[in-house]
Homo-oligomer: A and B are copies of this chain.
Amino acid sequence: MIDLHSGVPRHLQLAAQLRSRIIAGVYAPSDLLPSETRLSQEYGVGRGTVRRAVSLLRAEGLVDAASGRGTRVREPVELRRESVPRGAIIQARMPTPEERASLGIPEGVPVQVVTVGGRLRGVYPANQFELTTA
């Protein structure tokens, strides 16, 4: 459960427990997590604390929440492999809000930017692509 006096923030403790349950398959892909109110009661923490914990899992891409529907464990996605030419420069960073909107990138997912000779070659969301050198 949650140790209220361990010094470790409760939302981190809760996030860790939910995370390990997801990885262990207790909550399997496409499963709904218990509602925020349920978690709040079961773990004896406020709902705000639950939301903070869940928001971490969302940022890690583990779950996906929607109003009215619940919070669902995300299906693992197959990564597409994209080949980059020799001499390319590959830089990772967090996407701008505009990139997130236009590319449909979820929270907490970085992008890899490929440039060749100073010219932009592509922006690859890390939840969809891995890069390989030609």
> Which A residues contact B (CB, under 8 angstroms)?
16, 19, 59-61, 79, 81, 84-94, 96-97, 107-112, 126, 130-134
Give the oligomeric copy count: 2
Specify which chain B residues have a CB less than 8 angstroms from the CB of A16 in the assembled complex: 97
Specify which chain B residues have a CB less than 8 angstroms from the CB of A134 in the assembled complex: 86, 133
How far is it, in angstroms, between the C-alpha of A47 and the C-alpha of B99 when the chains are bound?
A: 28
Find the residue from A88, A90, A108 having the highest chain B CB count within 10 A. A90
- Are B92 and A92 in contact, CB atoms less than 8 angstroms apart? yes
The minimal Cβ–Cβ distance linking A119 to chain B, given in whole angstroms, is 14
- Are A90 and B59 in contact, CB atoms less than 8 angstroms apart? no
- Are A110 and B92 in contact, CB atoms less than 8 angstroms apart? yes
Specify which chain B residues have a CB less than 8 angstroms from the CB of A133 in the assembled complex: 84-88, 90, 133-134
